[in-house]
Amino acid sequence: MQELEKIWMNGELVDWADAKIHVGSHGLHYGSGVFEGIRAYETPKGSAVFRLTEHLQRLQNSAQVLNMALPHTVEELRSATMQLIGANGVAECYIRPIAFFGFGELGVASAGNPVDVVIMSWPWGTYLGADALKNGIRAKISSWTRVGPNVIPHVAKATGIYLNSMLAVMEANRAGYDEAILLTDDGFIADGSGENVFIVKDGTIYTPDLSASILRGITRDTIIQIAQDLGHSVVEKQLIRTDLYLADEVFMTGTAAEVTPLREVDDQLIGPPGPVTLALQKAYLDTVRGGSERWSHWLEYASTEPARAEA
């Protein structure tokens, strides 16, 4: 991870090395935190954060589900993010706001702990390797089941949930695959360890519906809208493992993963990235970099100095 200069922590910018917390923090012991992953891209009009407000609203919803009172409004976090991007001076970066129960009382109940809020930013290249966007990746259905709605609420992007994702992706990586796909308890396709899943079959695009233990992905929503704009019909429904095997195209979406094609699932060949995937990937990358008038309202411009090219 490339370190930048500043981190926004509980209302102020601190030096990267000074952004520390106590080892007795509740969030460290019990995974009691919520977070976001957001990207800022370099555009002809400067650094733009993609759908920043929606990400921060999701952070607030996640906190609400965990009964965590965020000490900052969405608007305050929005200006904090912009302040941080300006201070670090890197136009194209990944932004990670995180809120967690801090140091006060240990014990599973979170009462008596402050809520700490931190925003980091750093340059993060392609999520699944340089080749992934172009040639696609190999995924494996995980032996781990995705957390169910009555296990940990999947609408919340909660830190503790990511143990589930970590186990899945590490199992897949150890077996030689790039990514895991998790199923629900009933065997329906849910998410990748950090992405939503899409299938293209006979010209129609399918993706698991929101009740299938998926994170309500902002990239997912972006892709659905762009796809419909390009004339595709998108169906949100329960999907099963063999829908992947028999698909014409499969791809994953996420802020980090952007639009990543899958060329194999469980050693079943799907093929090289297909035309629908590639068209959506191109439209997505054009949109986030300011190339689309239609979706220009999704870009929130940071008032940075001209970005430092080396970072």
Report the residue from 219, 260, 277, 281 that binds ligand PPE according to the rule CB under 6 A: 219
**E strand or H helix that includes residue 177:** none
* Backbone region of residue 258 per phi and psi (left: phi > 0; alpha: psi in -120 to 50; beta: other values): left
Residue nearest to ligand PPE (CB): 37
| Residue 110 found at the interface with ligand PPE (CB under 6 A) | no
What per-residue string of b and e applies to 208-245 under the rule 16 or more CB within 10 Å gives b?
beeebbbbebbbbebbbebbeeeebebebeebeeebbe
Binding mask 156-175 for ligand PPE (x = CB under 6 A): ---------x----------
Report the residue from 42, 178, 195, 264 that binds ligand PPE according to the rule CB under 6 A: 195
Q: Which of 128, 115, 86, 99 is nearest to 36 (CA)?
A: 99
Instruction: Give the β-pairing of 137-145 and 179-183.
Output: parallel
Task: Candidates 19-27, 61-69, 102-110, 191-199: pick the segment binding ligand PPE (CB under 6 A).
Answer: 191-199
Active site residue 157: yes
Q: How many CB atoms lie within 10 A of CB 135?
A: 12
Of 157, 201, 237, 282, catalytic: 157
Taking CA 23 as the corner, what is the angle to CA 17 and CA 24, rounded to the nearest 5 degrees?
140
Query: Which lies closer to ligand PPE via its Cβ, residue 115 or residue 169?
Result: 169
What is the nearest approach in angstroms of ligand PPE to the Cβ of residue 248? 22
| Residue 262 found at the interface with ligand PPE (CB under 6 A) | no
Binding mask 228-257 for ligand PPE (x = CB under 6 A): -------------------------xxxxx
CB 241 within 8 A of CB 190: no
| Residue 217 found at the interface with ligand PPE (CB under 6 A) | yes
What is the binding site for ligand PPE (CB under 6 A)? 37, 165, 191, 194-196, 215, 217-220, 253-257
